Every structure is written in C-alpha cells, then in structure tokens.
Amino acid sequence: MDDWISMPLVGFPLVASIVLLAFVSNANESMRRRLANPIRMATLVFSLVLLVITTGMFFQYFGNVSWEGISFNNYEFLHRYSWMESLGIHWSVGMDALSFPMVWLTTFLLPVTIIATWNEKNGATYFPILLAMGGALIGVFVSLDLFMFYVFWELTLIPMFFLILVWGGADRKYASQKFFIYTFTASVVMLLGLITLYFFQDPVNPLDYAGSMTGRTFDIPTITQHALMENSNGNWYLGANIQKVLFAMLMLGFLVKLPAVPFHTWLPDAHVQAPTGGSMLLAGVMLKMGAYGMFRLPISLFPHALQYFQLALLIIGMVSLVWGAIVCLGQTNLKKMVAYSSVSHMGVILVGIATMQPMGWAAALFMMFAHGIISPMLFAVCGAFKHHYHSMEIGAMRGMAKHSPWLATSMMFAWMASLGLPLLAGFVAEIMMFIALWYFLAAEGWSVFWMVGPALVLAVTAAYYLWSMQRTIFEGGDETQPPSSLHGAPVPDIANPEKLAMLILAFFTIVFGVMPWIALDMMHDWTIQIFEGLILPVLGNFNGGA
Amino acid sequence: MSEITTIEPFTEGFVEALLPELILFTGMLLLILVPNLGKGTFRIPGTQLRLPWLLGGTRFKFSSDPRLPAWIASITLGSAFLNVLYVFSQGLERVLIVSESGKELLLINGFSRIFELIFFGALALAAFSSMNRLQVKGIGSKIPENELYNNRRQADFYILMVTCALGMSVVALAQDLFVLFIGLELASFSTYVLVAFLKESKVGVESGMKYFIVGSVASGVGLYGLSMLYLWAGSLQFSVLAATFAVSGTTALPLIGIGFVLVGFGFKVSAAPFHFAAPDAYAGAMSPVAGVLATASKAMGMLGLVRMLLIVAAPESSDGSAVWLVCLGAMAAVTMTWGNLAALGSDNPKRMLAYSSVAHAGYMLAALTAVGAWNWDAAVAGDASAAAVAVMTALLFHLVVLVAFKLGAFLVLSILESEGGGSRLSSLGGLAKREPLLAVAMFIFMISLAGVPPMAGFLSKLLVIMGIVRVAVGDMGAEISDGGIYALGDHALGLVACLAYGHQLSHFRLLLSSCRRCDVL
Amino acid sequence: MAGTEVTTTVHSEWMQYAPLIILLPMMAFAVILFLGRVFNGHPFWKKNLKEGGLIALPVMGASLILSLLLISEFLKGYSGVEDIFEKIAWVNTGIWNGGSTTESVSFGFGIYVDHVTVMLLFVASFLCLLINVFSIGYMNTDPINDNRNHRFYAEFVLFCSGMLGMVLADSFLWLFIFWEIMGLCSYLLIGFYYERPSAASAAKKAFLTTRIGDVFLMIGLVMLWDLFGSLDYAVVFDTHNIEMVAESSAGTLQWALGLMFIGAVGKSAQFPLHVWLPDAMEGPTPVSALIHAATMVNAGLYLVARMFPFFGAEALHGDLDDLAFIIAAVGGITAVMAAAIAFVQMDLKKVLAYSTMSQLAYIFTGLGCAMYLANTLDWHHDSDAHYIVVVAFGASLFHLFNHAMAKGMLFMASGSVIHEVHHAHHHLHHDDHGDDHHDDDFDAQSMENMGGLASKMPITATAMLVGSASIMGLPLIGGFWSKEGIIANAWRVAQDDPRFLFPAMCVLIGAAMTGFYMSRMWLKTFAGKPNNEVAAHVGPTNIWIKTPLFILTFVTLSSILLAGMGFTHWAADTEYSFLSEKNLIDGILYEMGHAFANSDSFFFILTYVAIFLGAVIGPGIAMALYGGKLADGEDTKPWMRPVIRLSEFVNKRFHFDNTALRESSLAIALENRLYIDEYYDKAMLNIVAGFSTKVAEADTEVIDGTIKAIESGSQSLSSVVRSLTTGSARDYILMVAVGTLIISLLIWGVA
Amino acid sequence: MIDPAWVSALSALMFVIGLGGAFTRKNAIIVLMCIELMLNAANMQFAAAAVHHGDTTGWVYTLFAIAIAASEVAIGLAIFLAVYGQHETISLDDVDVLRN
C-alpha cells in the first residue's frame, strides 16, 4: 500500500504553500496583485486535490480501507520513516476512525474557506497561508509520533498567527499575540507531560522503534500498546500518581486548545480579530485538535486517571457549556457571541467524554465533526456581515432579509444549525450527549441535577441566537437605514463565491444531519473498539477509583 | 574511536593539528600587512635613494579599499571554519599536545572542534556582515563607500575579531586551566575593544567601559580562583585537578577556588548576577559585535563551565550529585527568570535580545545542572549516562542553533541600525513593507528563539528539557512505584519547576518578540 | 450497517409509500426555495405558478391522497400497532453499563400507524391542502407579499412535512425531531413580515417559549429512553417492557411523562407557556389557520395522546393518576383563562387565538380525564370500564378533529374578512395601488372596523357561523358531540376523585364563556351596521378562498355523521371504532340517545346544563350586548337571517350597559392578558438579561482579567527587574562581588 | 624564608581590598587600580604556591598574569580616555546613559 498520507496530504500542501510564498515574496506590489488570482486558483485546485484524496479514502477508492472494524490502536495507511533514531523519533503517520473524519473535515473546509474568502485582500500571500494551515492541521491528525504530533501541533499556530496579524481587525496585534502565547504556554505544559511520559516508559522492556540513545520511543502506537498491556483492573500504567499527574498535564494543553472555561479567553479575542478564513479554520478544525488530542493520548493511555478525573471533567464541561452560553447572551458583538457559542459547544464534547459511555464519546466525536461544519458557516456569516456593514455590533444592520436575502438565509440556517435544530448536523450529537449523560447519571446514581446545566443551555442557546436574529435579519425594512459606516452606499448582498460556500456548508450540514451515519458509524465503531479494547478490560466491573 | 595521538609542539603533526589556529594567525599577519601596502619607499640612510618597499606611503587602490580588511578577516575565519569542517568530514583525529615536561597543553577532539566551529562560524558571519557597517558618522547614516572608516581603522576592528577567534579556539583546546584562562583573556580583551570600538559615540564607549570593568573584575576573581586551585593542587592541569578533586575535593580551598573560577565563566555566559553589564554592552556595541557576545562568547563561557564542572569537579559517585549542584541550580533558576522577566518589558530590541540571551544562559546552566544531578551510580547506570550524553548533546546543539538564530537576529538589527533605526522596537514598524525577506527572517529567528516548532530552536530547547526531565525522572528510579512523583528528589523537583517556570516565561517573552513582529509587519 | 433498508415485512401496497407523505413536501421545500430565489419576480413564476403556490398544491394533494390510501388500508385491517415501514438505522451507538460488555443502541426511523396516527394524519394532510388552496387566494392577492411568497410556500410545505412526519414517526425521538421542524417553520412564518418589529419579537417569543417546553420534553425523552432503552413506540408500548419498568421505577416514569407533558404545554400554548400564541397572529392568516389553530398546536395533544398506552397499562395501574390530574388541571385553568381573555379582545384573530387556546385546553382536560380513567379503572377486564375509557379518550380525539376543522375554517374565514377589509381600506384611502405599505394606523384585524359584513361576504359569514357554532357546541353541530363528551367525562372522573372537580367546573364554565365570546365575535363582525366607512365597502372574496371555506363548512356540519360512524369511540383498539357492526343510522341514533337521553340522571342533567350554558346563556348575553340588524337595504342569505333577527330581538329586549364592567380592573387585567406577558418580559429583562450581562462582564473582568493581570503583572515585575540594572558599573561590580560570595558560600556550604 | 602561608594570607587581604575598592570607588582609574590589586593578589598566590609546591610552573603563571594585567591596563586606559572624550568624566556613577 502506498503512502497516501505523508507526501500527498501533509507534505504537498506545506511544500506547495512554501513554494508559493517564496515565489510571491520576490514579487513587487503590482506583481503580487496580478499573481493573486492565479495563486488563488492554484490553492483551490491543490486543496481540491486533497479533498479528492480523502474522499477517495472514504469511498475505499484509495487504499481500499474500511473505516469500520479497525480495532483499537490499529491504524490504516500506517507508515513509519526514520527521523531522529537516537531519540526514538520517527516520521510516523496513520489514520484510524478517530482521525480520519477530522482529516476529511480539514480537507473539506480548506476549499470551502478559500471559496468563502475568495476576495480577501493580499490574496497572493493569503491563500498559500491557508494552504499551509491545512497541511499543518492534517499533520496534527495523522501524526502517530508524539514528537511529530507536538511539532505539527505548534506549527498550526504560525499560519494562524499570521492570518490574524495580517488580515485581522483593528486590535489584531493584541489578539494574535494573546492567541499565540496563551495556547503556546499551555502546550508547553503538555510538552513537559509528553516528555515525562516518554521517560517514564520502561526501557527494560525493549520497545519497538526505541531510540538508540535513550532506549525509549515517541511512537504513539507502541506507547499505547504498552499502556494497554500494563493497564489492568486496578493496576495503573506507570503507577497511580504518575498517571494522574501526566493525565492532568496533557489535559491542560488540550483543555486550553478546546477551549474550556476558564481557559477560553483567548478564543473570543482571536475570533473577533481574525479574518473570516482564519476564524473558519480556527473554529472548524483547530479547536477540535484539543478534543482529538484528548482521545488520542490521555484517554487512550490513562483510563484509570480518566475515571479518577471524571467528576472534574464533568464539572469543567458543564461550566464551559453553561458559562459559554450565558456569556453569549450578554454579548453585543456578533462574532464574539459566535465565539462563545463555540466554547459552549466544546463543553458538550467535554461532557460527552466525561460520561465515559460509548454513546457519549460518539457524541463528542460527532460534535467535533458537526461543529466543524457548522461553525465555519457561522463565521462565514459573521465575516460577510462585517464585510458588508463594517460593524460587528448586533443591531448595526436590521432588516437584512430585505437587503441581503442570501446573507439572511445563510445566517438563519447557520444559527438554527448551531442551536441544534433536528435534522441538521448538531442535533444528533446533542441528543446523544443528553442520553449518554442521563444514562451515566442514572447508572452511577449521581444527582440528576447535572441535567439542569445542559437543559438550561438548550434554552439559553435558543435565546441568544434568536435575539441576535431578531436584531439583524428581522425588523427594519425600509424604515431602518443602513448603518452610517456604509456612508450611504447601497447595501449589497453577499458575493457569488460566498453564496457558493454557504450552499456547500449548508448542504453538508443537512447531509450529516439527515444521514449522520455516514460519519457517525465509523465514530461509533471507534468508540466500541476503544471500549472493548481498552476501557472494558481495564475498568469493567470495577467501580473503585472514582 | 581512534586513539589519542600525543605530540609535542612543533613536531610532526603539529601543523596539521593546529591548522585552523595557524590560518587565523596568518590572517592576522595579513590584516596587519595588506592594508598597509602602498607606494611607501625606504630612503637608504645617507643617500637620496629611495627603495620602494611597498609598506606605508600612499596606499594602492586595492589596499586602501575600506572593505579589504573585512574581506581578509571573513576569508580567514571562513577558511578556518571550513578547515574544521573538512577535518570533521575526514574523520577526526584526536591529538593531544603536551609540553616537553609532559604537561598537557591542548587537546584536539570532536568536542573542542565543535566549539571551534561555533566560534569561527559566528565570527565569520559577524565579520562578513559588518563589512559595510563601520561608518564615520557612526550608526545611522547611509553608506557611500567614502563614508566608511578608512582601512586602518577597519583593520583594527577585524584584527580584533581574528584575535578573538584565536583566543576562543585556545579556550576550546586548552587542557590546562591557565592556558584556558589566557585564551579567555585574549578573547575578552578583544571583545572589550570591539564593544568600545565606536569611540565616537557616547553609548559605544560607555558600553565598552562597563563591559571592560565588570569583565576585569570577574576575571580578576577568576584568576584568584585559579591561584587558589594551584595552591591546593600544585598544578592547573585538568587531569591533575580532577584526580586531586576526587581525593580531597570537599575542602574549603578548592571549593572556594572553583566558586571563584565560576564567577569568571559566569560573566562570560552572562549568568545572573554577573550579567548586568551584558545588556548595556549589547545595547551600546554594534549589532554584529553584540551578536558575537551573545553566541561565540557565551559558548566559550559554557565551554569553560563544562570543563570546570564536569571534568574537574565531576559529580561524585558516592551520593550521586555534584557539590556545585545547588549553586548552579540556583544560578540557573535565577538567571532564566531574571532574563525572561527583564526581556519582557524591554523596548530596545538589542536589550531585549540581551536579556533573552541571559535567559538562554539559564537554560544551558539548567542543562548542566541536570547532568550534575544525575545519579551516577543508579541501577540504570548505562541508561543514565546515556541521559547525560543526551544532555550534553542537547547543550551543544543548543549552542549551535543559537549561533544561527541569535546572531541572525542581531545581524538583522544591524541592517536596521545602519538605516538609522533599531534602538526602539517601534522603529521596526513597517519592516515587512520595506524588507519583506528581512522581516520573515526576523520572524523565523524570533519564533525559533522562543522555541516554537518546527524551528531548530525548538529542537534544542526540547533536547535540553528532555535531558532535565530525564534526570528528574531517573532520580525517582528507586521510588518509581506509587507516590514516586511526590518523592521527587527535592533538587530535581525544584529544577523541573524552575525550568517549567522559566520556559513559560520565555514564552511571555515571545509577547515581546511578537510585539516586535506586529510593528514589523 | 446503517443506512440500509431491510425490507422484510411490508404489509400492504400503499404503506410502503408512507415516507413519501413526508418526503414530497420536504423536496418541494427545496424546489420552491431554489426556484423562488432564482426566478423571483419573473412573470411566469408570479402568474402561472403563483410564486410556488401551484407547486405546493399538487404536492400537498399527493400527500393527502397517499394519506387517504394509507388510512383506508389501515381501516381495512392492515393495522395493529406494529411497524409498517421497516426502519432505517439512523444512529448506531452503544452504552456501557459498568460491566464488561457494551450494549449496542440504535435509533431508527420508521412509520407507525394506529388510530391516533390516522386521525391526526387525516386532519393534517386535509387541512394542509385546503389551507394551501386558501393561501393562493390570500397571499398572492396582497401586494405586500409580492416577491416573497416563495418563502411562504417553501416554509409552508416544510411545515406540512414536519407535521406529517411527526404524526407518522414511529418513535418519540422522531416525533421530537419533526416537532422541532414545525417549531422552526412556525418561527419563520410568524416572522414572515420580518420588517415589523412586532412580528420579529412574536416569532422569537414563539420559538423561545416552545423551546422551554421542548427542553423539558427532551429531558423527558431522555429519561424515557433510560427506562426502556429505546424510544420506539413498539418498544415502549410493549406490555412486557412496561411491566418491567413499572416494577422498578414507576415514579420515574411519571416524572418522564410529566416532563414530556411540559413540552406539550409549550407547543399547545397552555398555561403557563401560552403567551406566544396570541402574538403568533402576527403571521399571515393562512399560517395562523394552519399552524396556530389546526395542526401544530395539536402536536402537544398528539404527544399526550401518545402517552395513553402508559396510562392504560395494567402494570402501571393507579401509578400515574397524579399526572393525569395535572394534565386535566392545566387544561382547566387554560380553558377558563383563555376564554376570559377572549372576552375583551378586539382583534379578530386574537379572539380566535384565545379560543384556540381554550379549546385545546378542553382537549387536554379530556385527555387528562381519559387517562385518569384508564389508569384507575380496571378496563382491561371490565367491559363497562373499557367502554368508559374508550369513550373518554375518543371524545378528546374527536374534539381535536372537530376543533381543527372548525378553527381552520374560522381562521380562513377571518382571514378572508381581514383581506377584504384591508382591500376596502386600500381602495378608499390609497388610490395609488403601488403603495403597499401598512404604514398607517388602520388595523384591518380589529372588529372595530367591521360590522354588518354578513351581507357583503355571505360565504364567509356562513363559514364563520358554522365554525362558531361548532366551537360553542351548539347541539348537533361539530364540536357539540365531542365537547359534551369531555364535560361528561370530567364530571364522571370528578365523582371518583374530588380533585377533578376543579377541571370539571372549569370546562363547564368554559362552555358558557365559549358561547359568549364566539357569539360576540360573530355578531360584532357580521351583524349590526358597519362600524365605519371601510366596513361598508367590503366586497366578496375570491374563489381560492371560498372553496376551502365551503368544504370545511360541509365537514363541520357533517360531524353528526362522523359521530355516528363511531368517532366518539375513536381509541386505541378497533372494537368500538369505525364501521364496526353497527350501521350509520344506528350509530347516529345511538349517539343521539346517548347525548340527549342519557340513562344516568346525573349525566342527563349535566348534558342539558352544558347545552344551556354554552348555547343559551353565552350567546344570549353576547346578543344582548352586540346584536343588531344589518344596515338598511342590506340583506343576507336566508339561513343567517334568523340568527341576525334573533340577535336584534335579544339586543332590544335584554340590552344592558356593560360600561362599568368593561372598565373594571378585571377587564383591564384581561385586556393586558392578566399581565402574564408583562411578568415574563420583566423576568427576561431583569433576571436573564441582567444576569447574562453580569456573567459576560465577569468573563472579561475576572477570567480574562486574571490573564491580563498576569500579563501586566509580569510587565511591571519586568520593569522592577530591569530597574536593578542601574547603569552604574559600580553596582554591577558590587553584584559580582555579592555573587562571588554567594557562590562560594553555596558550594562550600553544600559540601 | 617566609612561610608561603603568610604570603597567601597577604594575597587574600590584597584581593579583598581590591574587590572592595572596585565597588566602593567611583573613579575608573582607581577601580582599575583595584583590579590590578586583585590580579596581583593572584600573582602573589601563584608565587607562594610555586614555592609551596616547588613547582616552577607557578612562576610562569605569574609572569603571564603580569602580562595579562599589563595589557588590561593598556586597554582600560585607552577605553577610559575615549570615555572621557565623550562623557567628560570617568566617574562610574555618572557614565550611565545605558540603563534598565
């Protein structure tokens, strides 16, 4: 089987973007302006190639891989190349049913983002940076080596930093710094955790792919396998205290990325200042890196610690869920509101994880995916709003339905999808989370008042979305004049590329809402595999610890 | 690994072994001679005959070119660099040069050669890039050719660079503490003058004076420490010192002596609290010189520390840790914290880089501490020594990439300096518009310094941290079972905590560098 | 593997096409929306396709035909309560019960048909079609709707799809899904005139209020799932499963059903979640007719009716009577309250809205009573008890049917009135027809601007008359049959359980009140003299509007036939149901005898009391206050003449001055909807908005503030640290000396 | 012959005086002198140690150290001259343009 990942999915976009950027950096101003269009087309084509590859993988056209029935800690398209042998570092890529949906999502969002921000200024540099962003994100999801994972994890910061800094709003400097420093600081803690994990491996047991100098390895499958063998009922891999500490260190990095309250304040700032394309990728994929990381590392390695921290996770998740939603209600800035809604939705993921139910985890996975389709649309709408009305304030422009029916329709659709309207993608995850949570509470005899939070959020979410729609789409009409920031110019509707992007996103929101099984089946299969492969042998019939 | 060849000075093999140093020496001579070539004549006494002897007088056109010394120096340093590289590629021969009385003088091995690479590379880059920077009007004016210092002043500058390189390579090779010290002084004196080279500016001389005075005090303390060690051991040979230390190392005299020597090296690496002159010196000196201070000079200091601490005062096998552990750990912690904190609020880019350089010294000291904390006698001894090797490798790697990034950053600043900016962060504004490549380079240097993957700065920092974590983890070897994490050796825990703290702060420092970036773009 | 349809048992020819009933409108939604976007304003689109109305029409027709086929097959006996359409495995997942295995869980989609389904299916598809016809006449003739009717039709068909889907779904999950889709459409359609702030806020209010109910519904569903491990009707209604659950957690089940009932309360606009329905009249009249009178608001009733198997289960005998009481009580409160508010409404549609609320409340009371009976009587074995339960349940469902037909008709008729009044106003005040803005103070919906229209719009007036009669429960017409049943059952239960005296009294008083406000509405609109110039110039309406009115009038009048066919016994088994062995005449006679000559003296008296209250007292007072003959020279159809004459007579004879009453604080409170909306608004504004603003502030001040404090703290720390670099070389040397000392001490000290 | 220990003690005293003087005096020249004092303290120590150990290298070290001290003075004075040219003072406290 050929390596469909390393070069085609990771190397190609990164190299292509670097080549394009190098090419552009030598051009002068007018040349750049002329180059913008060809480069835009090129990046679009490149990103479509990526999409074709991943879609081909899904349809088993490339690699002939069935994404269901991959047992725990097995990976498809697994390829491993030597990198830094002495330390046990490899270039190791592979995908399973956990990572594949995220990879597909990335490749899907990339062309959509390009289309949605078709007329972004400085296109000659903007589009290659988007492409680089895509490559880095894919790299995170396909890495099966801790070192490589961390490298890509941080690599994603750089293009995003530039996107915010160069194409961002008025306060972009502060936002980009905050974004960078905040997430970077957290991931340094994670890095310390990774290294500690690395060194806590027992070199007495010869490991596959171990480094010559240290006798240890960064290889995720090997470590996972090792953990799997040593974790057993009552026996904690690496010992209880170490496992707890490592779990906490890794989780901290992921929680900040997710982001969970109280580590979320970088997100609204970043989103508000970021350009539309940046926001779309940030909300669409980058946040999910946190959840993905949780599943890939702490959960897969430290099930005992997961059980130990279950209550903490549940609390953090609940707080994120509720706090994010209530803060939304108090926002007057459209994009900030949407950003906080992401915080709230990421809370759903955490709660899903905290239930420790296959259904809850599948809900979390599907939420990652669904939110990855819905939130770009939310931000595309916000971007268009900003672009047309030069303001982000809710209420700056009313009666959009009359002036900009396309924008109004898209907004309505995205908002409804985000508040969890049935038959749109977000609903499935929400209802599954609900059921799993209740089941967990009832089975464990926990207080049912945990349900108050999510229930409240359902109502509050509807409240803030409806409130914002009332003040943007509705009202106004002829009596309300366009905002003064337009200087009397006629109010335009969104441009054709934007319409196309909205249609694509809306279409897939419906597709995955009506036919969730397309993605959900493999996610479900993954959760079943991890439960049968890891959780049940380790924690089954065992109620101590928690 | 091949056996060590022992030779005496000026016998067979000596020239081959010291070829890089000889190249430097030749270059020095050329720097003295070539710019002085001219139509000078020598009047035979008592006659009116004037014999042209080509020295002095009206210079030839080529020899009056103000860029000539820079070329000579760059070529000299560059060829020394290439020579070392070539030696590496040919498989290294390890050569020990001993005096007639059997005293070890210089040792040429991979370790010293790597340091030579660092020194020569950094200086060559600095020399090459300051070619157009020595201007009559000082920093700030445009550079038509006739505005450069004349070639004699230029020659002064580049001779000092080459002597500096020579001194550093002596430090790298020395097997006798006093020889090492002499090399150190040679390099130091050169840098004092280099820092104060812009004698027409207030800040230039001021920085030179501060650097000189504080440096002299530090080396005075160091020399006194040497004398104490000599008094104690009767020799300053590393081999003798190490042997004696193993026997009677824990008495007051050698320990205080070692402490005094640490002061001398501590100044060179600009570890707290000996770093105070460094920011002033970096800010006042020309950027390439500051770059040399931050890289080559620092590497020299680190080399001295390694020699001193790991060879002379090696950790004891009995209780598994070195006597200097606490001292160095504390120094590391204070240094990295201080550097990062100070860099955070600095708005002069050179001072900021200086403070960041202080912080980097802290990391390297932490790495050294890690080696010291390693339990030499632990059950997993083989493994632990691997960890020590890893730490040292990391340290070396860190020094190497530091040359690339820190020096690079200073060189970028030097370009801005010659255009009149560079003393305030705000003056970097709009760099991306003016010089996009420069801006991108600066960004890469910055994030690399901050340790963001996938830049090499990350890898080096990662390796350093890995080493430290490994040592911390290894320390728990006995108590690895439940509760082990709480029973971390106190020093190791403190160390990791310091490091995590320092590392985190260093990313707050990134605030600054990205702040700079914002202005740049 | 999901997504594959395993078709093993398809019982009949047509039932396999049942999904098309849902899918056709759903596809039409996309088609109309897309074409409308593209061809908006195109003459062909506008004239020939009525901006999508003529695309929707055949689709709704097809849905109706398919529904009828389905119903007929069901009635022929391809029935039972089992799945007819094989499921799609929609969501596959698993749970872990703490043991060493996972259990797989699946949420599927399928079609489920039983008596309740059939009833609602007919109501929904039939009314959808009729109102579609009406819409073409109503929406496409008002210039204000030009170029946006495609939106109306698209949302309309999507709504129909949701409604039909909800009815046909085979699990509570899918019921909920379609339920939400209806909610969305309701939201969109209420906000159809998006430029009006009142419409925008009404839409929001509707969605939010129902959403609050939905949240409870969702929790209820989740609890139900937890009890049964499934939400499929086939599983949860299974006697064996109910027994298992009843053994361990009957109390939990009651809670679950109670929470689900809150969802129904929201959807069906019952107290205390009723506030949205009157405001929802901001939507176009066809929307009010369809969604807010005839179908969507019935969803709550449908949901409660769906719970019947739990109440009727033997295993849960006597366990759920509290919930039954709550249902009945909520119905009772709402019935009286809404009727009282309807007394003082001047807006034609608002009167109808409150009437809807009140009538739905009747059905809730009826359902509550039926469920109490089912839960407490031994109806599985005692055939008398069985009969009582079936009749009680059947009466409620039959009232649902009657009310839907009548109220749909009333709304359409009111729409027609409003339409024509509006046109007349236009004609009079705006000669320039291009000016299509509702920008003046004229309120075409206010009864102040009507009066005496019986002569101008005879068909409409007739429909309105029949509809009102049906709602009032005038003997033999429409709602009479079912309403009497509800009242009777309420009192029957009250005999068993004194708690039920409250809802029983409520429904009885409500009957009188209904009589009053419905009569008042009709009289104020159609009888008497035109109140102003506009009303005098109202013209007849168009054919699209007349047709459905005509049909529905007929259906309402023929209610006696339906009653004879056993609709009053419409319940979850076939024994007493449609076309059982009795023939039609027997059935009618049986029903008549049962209604008017009940053997039980209590019920005999009760029947006449109710008739007296609803058909004599209520209308009588209304006539006394508002009756009057038409303007001179005006005449109306013969069948309305007696009514008008009677009203004139009563008015002359019994007229009294009600000014004092009208100005009493009670009346003012009623006009202000008992201030409930106000309290809600205040709570929203002060508690929710205030709290959320505080939280948002805390987010910036405290959480982000901490980050910023760290940042600025480290900056100031930085300047402190940097200030140690004083600039004087002496200090530096001092530090070197100190450092030397410390290093020596440390090294020496440690060693 | 004098016991080298006394010489050592003297050298220690000189060193302390030198170091103390270096940070108490403002005049750069005097500071330079103090530094010389420190270096000479080291020289004396070397000499004493050479005697103590009977090792001639110590003398060589001393010679070299003297050379170092001499060059240091040369460099120092040159720098101070240049400082005086720019700042018109060589008081260490007053030459503080560069700070923080």
Query: In this complex, do B230 and D79 lie within 8 Å of one another by their Cβ atoms?
Result: no
The total of structural domains in chain B comes to 1
Look-up of token digits 């379609």? C178
Look-up of token digits 């019994």? C654
CB of C171 within 8 A of CB of C232? Answer: yes
Alpha helices (H) along A201-332: 220-230, 240-257, 266-273, 276-281, 287-294, 300-301, 303-308, 310-329
Whether the per-residue pLDDT at A111 is higher than 90: the answer is yes
Interval C632-685: pLDDT, tens: 777 778 888 888 888 888 888 888 877 788 788 888 888 888 888 888 888 888
Residue B62 CA from chain centroid, whole number: 34
Hey, which residues does B6 pair with through a beta bridge? B96
Whether the per-residue pLDDT at A416 is higher than 50: the answer is yes
**Beta strand extents in C636-696 (DSSP E only):** none
d(CA A378, CA A385): 11
CB of B24 within 8 A of CB of B42? Answer: no
Determine the distance in angstroms separating the CA of B335 from the nearest CA of chain A, rounded to an integer. Answer: 20
What's the pLDDT score for residue B464?
Answer: 67
Please state, rounded to an integer, the average pLDDT across all residues of chain A.
86
What's the pLDDT score for residue A204?
Answer: 59
Determine contact: A535 vs chain C, CB below 8 A: yes
Within 8 A of D79 by CB-CB distance, chain B residues are 192-193, 196, 205, 208-209, 212
What's the pLDDT score for residue D64?
Answer: 92
Interval A241-296: pLDDT, tens: 788 888 988 999 999 998 898 889 899 889 989 999 999 999 999 999 999 999 99
What's the pLDDT score for residue B381?
Answer: 41
Return the ∠ at Cα C506 (arms to C502 and C512), rounded to 5°. Answer: 155
B42-50 long-range Cβ contacts below 8 angstroms, 24+ apart: none
The answer to whether residue B207 sits within a structural domain is no
d(CA C353, CA B436): 69
d(CA A168, CA A176): 9
Average pLDDT over residues C462-473: 87
CB contact burial C504-518 (16+ within 10 A = b; e otherwise): bebbbbbbbbbbbbb
Which chains border A (3 or more CB–CB pairs < 8 Å)?
B, C
d(CA B311, CA C91): 68
Which comes out higher in pLDDT, residue C50 or C502? Answer: C502
CB of A195 within 8 A of CB of A249? Answer: no
Q: How confident is the model at residue A66 (pLDDT cuts 50, 70, 90)?
A: confident
For chain B (length 521 residues), average pLDDT per consecutive 10?
73 83 92 83 81 77 80 91 86 80 83 88 88 61 60 85 93 90 93 88 87 93 92 86 80 86 91 88 87 89 86 63 73 80 76 83 79 51 57 78 81 71 58 67 72 68 67 48 36 45 46 42 37
Return the ∠ at Cα C662 (arms to C659 and C665), rounded to 5°. Answer: 125
Q: Six-digit token pair at C2?
A: 């999901």
Residue C602 CA from chain centroid, whole number: 34
Query: In this complex, do B515 and A240 lie within 8 Å of one another by their Cβ atoms?
Result: no
Whether the per-residue pLDDT at C152 is higher than 90: the answer is no
The answer to whether residue B30 sits within a structural domain is no
Look-up of token digits 């503490």? B177
Interface test with A, best of B392, B433, B518 (most A CBs within 10 A): B518
Residue D25, classed as helix, strand or coil, is coil
Classify residue C156 as left (phi > 0), alpha (psi -120 to 50) or beta.
alpha
Task: Report the Cα–Cα distance between both ends of chain B, in Å, rounded.
Answer: 51
Query: In this complex, do C736 and B326 lie within 8 Å of one another by their Cβ atoms?
Result: no
What's the pLDDT score for residue C1?
Answer: 34
Within 8 A of B518 by CB-CB distance, chain A residues are 165, 172-173, 176-177
Chain A interface residues (partner B, CB cutoff 8 A): 25, 87, 147, 150-155, 157-158, 161, 165-166, 172-173, 176-177, 180-181, 184-185, 188-189, 191-192, 195-196, 198-200, 203, 213-215, 239-242, 245
Range of the domain at B347: 319-521
Interval D14-60: pLDDT, tens: 999 999 998 888 889 999 999 999 999 999 999 888 888 888 888 88
Peptide bond into B273 cis (omega under 30): yes
d(CA C561, CA C440): 47
Quote the pTM value. 0.87
Q: How confident is the model at residue C443 (pLDDT cuts 50, 70, 90)?
A: confident
Query: In this complex, do A214 and B470 lie within 8 Å of one another by their Cβ atoms?
Result: yes
d(CA C172, CA C184): 18
Q: How confident is the model at residue C414 (pLDDT cuts 50, 70, 90)?
A: confident
Determine the distance in angstroms separating the CA of B357 from the nearest CA of chain D, rounded to an integer. Answer: 15
| Alpha carbon distances (Å) from B437 to A206, A265, B412, B442 | 47, 33, 10, 8
d(CA B299, CA B307): 12
What's the pLDDT score for residue C436?
Answer: 46
d(CA B202, CA B205): 6
What's the pLDDT score for residue A261?
Answer: 85
Alpha-carbon torsion angle B9, B13, B16, B19, nearest 10: 0
Q: Which residues contact C704 (CB under 8 A, 6 or more apart)?
A: A265, A269
Please state, rounded to an integer, the average pLDDT across all residues of chain D.
89
Query: CA nearest C355: which of C131, C550, C515?
Result: C515
The answer to whether residue B456 sits within a structural domain is yes
Percent of chain C clearing pLDDT 70 (strictly above): 92
- C728 → chain B, closest CA residue: B210
CB of B132 within 8 A of CB of B415? Answer: no
What's the pLDDT score for residue B181?
Answer: 92
Percent of chain C clearing pLDDT 90 (strictly above): 11
What's the pLDDT score for residue C435?
Answer: 45
Query: In this complex, do C725 and D22 lie within 8 Å of one another by their Cβ atoms?
Result: no
Look-up of token digits 């050929």? A2
Residue A211, classed as helix, strand or coil, is coil
Determine the distance in angstroms separating the CA of A90 from the nearest CA of chain B, rounded to an integer. Answer: 14
Average pLDDT over residues C585-595: 77
Whether the per-residue pLDDT at A31 is higher than 80: the answer is yes
Give the phi and the psi of residue B377 in degrees, each rounded to 5: -105, 10
Question: Which residue in the set A401, A423, A432 is minimally distant from C181, CB to CB?
Answer: A423
Which chains border B (3 or more CB–CB pairs < 8 Å)?
A, C, D
Q: Six-digit token pair at B124?
A: 């060559």
What's the pLDDT score for residue C8?
Answer: 42
In this structure, which amino acid lies at residue A361? W
Q: Six-digit token pair at C107?
A: 């949420």
Please state, rounded to an integer, the average pLDDT across all residues of chain C.
83
The answer to whether residue B364 sits within a structural domain is yes
Q: How many CA atoms lie within 13 A of A485 on its CB side?
A: 11
d(CA A526, CA C173): 24
What's the pLDDT score for residue B383?
Answer: 52
Interval C691-727: pLDDT, tens: 888 888 888 888 888 888 887 887 788 888 888 888 8
Interval C273-305: pLDDT, tens: 888 888 888 888 888 888 888 888 889 999 998
The answer to whether residue B111 sits within a structural domain is no
Query: In this complex, do B213 and C715 lie within 8 Å of one another by their Cβ atoms?
Result: no
Q: Say how many C-beta atoms besides its own lie within 10 A of residue A83's C-beta.
A: 15
